[in-house]
Amino acid sequence: MPLYRDQGIVLRTHKLGEADRIITVLTRSLGKVRTVGKGVRRTKSRFGARLEPGMLVDLQCYEGRNLDTVTQAETLESWGDVCARDYDAWTAANAVLETCDRLTEEREPALQQYLLVTGAMRSLAGKEHDPNLVLDAYLLRALAVAGWAPSFHDCAKCGAEGPHRAFHIVSGGAVCSVCRPPGSSAPAPETLRLLAALLAGDWMIADSSDVRHRREGSGLTTAFLQWHLERGVRSLRMVER
Amino acid sequence: MYEGAVQDLIDELGRLPGVGPKSAQRIAFHLLQSDAVDVQRLTDALTQVKAKVRFCVICHNIAESEQCRICADPRRDLTSICVVEEPKDVVAIERTREFRGRYHVLGGAISPIDGIGPDDLTFRELMTRLASGEVTEIIIATDPNLEGEATASYLARFLKGMGIKITRLASGLPVGGDLEYADEVTLGRAFEGRRLLDA
């Protein structure tokens, strides 16, 4: 397959040489691919603007030994460009894209991750909800798709029906009074309800939540993500919560 | 693999950006065959660039004294500051001969994914410059890419409420190009920034 075509979202870019860029794209059917965009940093580049982070593109590449080379790119959605005009949306979008990059492997199809990241970027660009809520919803769902679904209602250890007061990241979420390990936190019940709503996509509950509970939920989500990824997501430091 | 000094030179040259092992070898052999005077001139230039060049205390552009030649020039307009990412951008704008104000070099653009946030750039130093009250316009000339755009939106938010006119360099169609080859983002920005023509 020397030449291939696929839809994909640009996750990140690195400068290469004088005017080129390495572009990491999560494609719909091939998974994550690393491609070279030749001359895309020149102001007269025909597709430089299309290969920026957060852009959804129809991509044609030819396979190389190490890296593929982009031969054509058509914009399908310019979510990155829209988000860059709003600093809060931009920092959230960066955290979404970086997390997606960390959760996917090269050349391993990841359709669910693709659908999640495109959904999150569409929502951020459309200003449908608070960018922090969109980010937390994405992080929780992306972790769930990766096999680390947190439990916010039933006990994560014994499965006892909730709601429970204690929350323990290492155990996987809410824990009952019997299973509660030392060092568990006790978030507000509204916070756990908000996180469950974000995981399930219940935006009625999420949008009407209190700022205090959103902030507490963001802290738990970030801690949960960093525990499973073992290394911090750098973009999250820039998100104003 | 070569011996001793030649291999050391190839290794050092190979660490430069854009220089691969083959190019490093070619440059090393070129230097070996060159006159000793030419090589000495290159050595002196390399030594002096590290010894003499520093950052301007006002705008953070590269300078050979405490202030760069632009900040030290009394003929420059003190009421406008053009904010750029890198010293290279100052040179590019100076070539246009359109801008007579001063500059402020941020030292990069906000890039959360690379761990570069507002605290890593010279925003605070810019605020200090604005405290005197003589600046009436800030022209944001960050790169026309998404990081540059996000840095511009942060800067606009950062300077909001200070009573300073904030402008952004226009983005759009390159001179000498064909409209049909323009991408959607560039063409969209060209439409946004269209201007009234006086009949």
**Contact of A207 with A194, CB cutoff 8 Å:** no
pLDDT tens readout for residues B71-111: 999 999 999 999 999 999 999 999 999 999 999 999 999 99
Lowest mean pLDDT among A106-115, A160-169, B79-88, B100-109: A160-169
Nearest Cβ partner of A234 from B18, B115, B183? Answer: B115
Which of A13, A90, A231 is most worth mutating to test chain B (most B CB atoms within 10 A of its CB)? A90
Domain of residue A178, residue span: 85-238
Structural domains counted in chain A:
2
How many other C-beta atoms lie within 10 A of the C-beta of residue A226? Answer: 14
CB pairs under 8 A between A and B: 77
Please report the DSSP string for B82-131 in residue order.
EEESSHHHHHHHHHHT---SEEEE-SS--BGGGTB-GGGTTHHHHHHHHT
Q: Is A47's Cβ below 8 Å from some Cβ in B?
A: yes
Residues A198 and A232 in one domain: yes
Say yes or no for a CB contact (<8 Å) between A44 and B174: yes
Select from B185, B187, B192 the residue whose CB has the most chain A CBs within 10 Å, as the one to mutate to test that interface: B185
Note the pLDDT tens digit of each residue in A77-95: 999 999 999 999 999 999 9
Q: Which residue among B146, B153, B183 sits closest to A53, beta carbon to beta carbon?
A: B146
Contact A235 B113 (CB under 8 A): yes
Percent helix, strand and coil across chain A, each to the nearest 5? 40, 25, 35
CB–CB of B174 and A43 under 8 A?
Answer: yes
Q: Does B110 touch chain A (CB under 8 A)?
A: yes
Q: Are residues A63 and A107 in the same domain?
A: no
| Of A28 and B158, the one with more pLDDT | A28
CB–CB contact B113 A50 (8 Å): no
Are A118 and A225 in the same domain?
A: yes
Distance in angstroms (rounded) separating the CA atoms of residues A229 and B3: 45
**Which residues, listed in sequence order, are joined to residue A4 by a DSSP beta bridge?**
A61
Residue A200 shares a structural domain with residue A109: yes
**pLDDT of B199 above 70:** no
Whichever domain contains A229, its CATH number is: 1.20.1440.120
Q: For residue range B4-62, what is the model confidence (pLDDT) as tens digits?
A: 899 999 999 999 988 888 999 999 999 999 999 999 999 999 999 999 999 999 999 99
Give me the CATH number covering residue A60: 2.40.50.140
Alpha carbon of residue B172 to chain centroid = 20
pLDDT at A1: 57
Domain stop point among A31, A51, A77: A77
Output DSSP code: residue B135: -
Residues A112 and A215 in one domain: yes
pLDDT in tens, A4-15: 999 999 999 998
User: How many Å lie between the alpha carbon of A14 and the closest alpha carbon of chain B?
Assistant: 10
What backbone phi and psi angles, to 5 degrees, belong to B170?
Answer: -70, 145
Q: Which CATH architecture has domain B73-196?
A: 3-Layer(aba) Sandwich (3.40)
Task: Based on the fold, state whether residues A139 and A229 are members of the same structural domain.
Answer: yes
pLDDT at A21 over 70: yes
Q: Which chain A residues in 78-107 lie under 8 Å from chain B, judged by CB atoms?
A: 78, 80-81, 83-87, 90-91, 94-95, 97-98
> How many Cβ atoms from other residues are within 10 Å of residue A181's Cβ?
11
Please check whether residue A76 touches B, CB under 8 A.
no
Q: What residue segments make up the domains of chain B, in order of their start?
A: 4-52, 73-196
B76 vs A241, residue with greater confidence: B76
ipTM of the complex: 0.82
Q: How many CA atoms lie within 13 A of B107 on its CB side?
A: 15
Q: How many residues does chain A have?
A: 241
Interface contact flag, B112 A46, Cβ < 8 Å: no
Q: Is the Cβ of B186 closer than 8 Å to some Cβ of chain A? A: yes
pLDDT classification of A192: cutoffs 50, 70, 90: very high
Say yes or no for a CB contact (<8 Å) between A94 and B184: no
**Among partner residues A49, A55, A234, which is closest to B113 by beta-carbon distance?**
A234
Contact A80 B146 (CB under 8 A): yes
Among B85, B93, B111, B113, the residue to mutate for chain A (most A Cβ within 10 A): B113
Is A98 in contact with A29 (CB distance < 8 Å)?
Answer: no
Of B98, B93, B79, B86, the residue nearest B60 (C-alpha): B86
Is residue A101 exposed (0-12), middle (13-18) or buried (19+ Cβ within 10 Å)?
middle
Q: How far apart are the C-alpha atoms of A149 and B123, rounded to whole Å?
A: 40
pLDDT digits (tens, 9 = 90+) for A29-48: 999 999 999 998 887 787 88
- A89 & A52 share domain: no
One domain for residues A161 and A51: no
User: A237 and B115 in contact by Cβ < 8 A?
Assistant: yes
A141 and A67 assigned to the same domain: no
Is omega for the bond preceding B21 within 30 degrees of 0, making it cis?
no
User: Are A52 and B113 in contact (CB < 8 Å)?
Assistant: no
Judge if A107 and A132 occupy the same domain: yes
Residue A42's pLDDT is 84
Task: Using the 3D structure, point to which of A50, A77, A104 is the last residue of a domain.
Answer: A77
How much is the pLDDT for B172? Answer: 84
Asked if residue B180 has pLDDT above 90, the reply is no
Q: Which CATH number does B4-52 carry?
A: 1.10.8.420
Residue B177 has pLDDT above 80, yes or no: no
Domain boundary among the residues A48, A77, A106 is at A77
Is B146 an 8 Å CB contact of chain A? yes
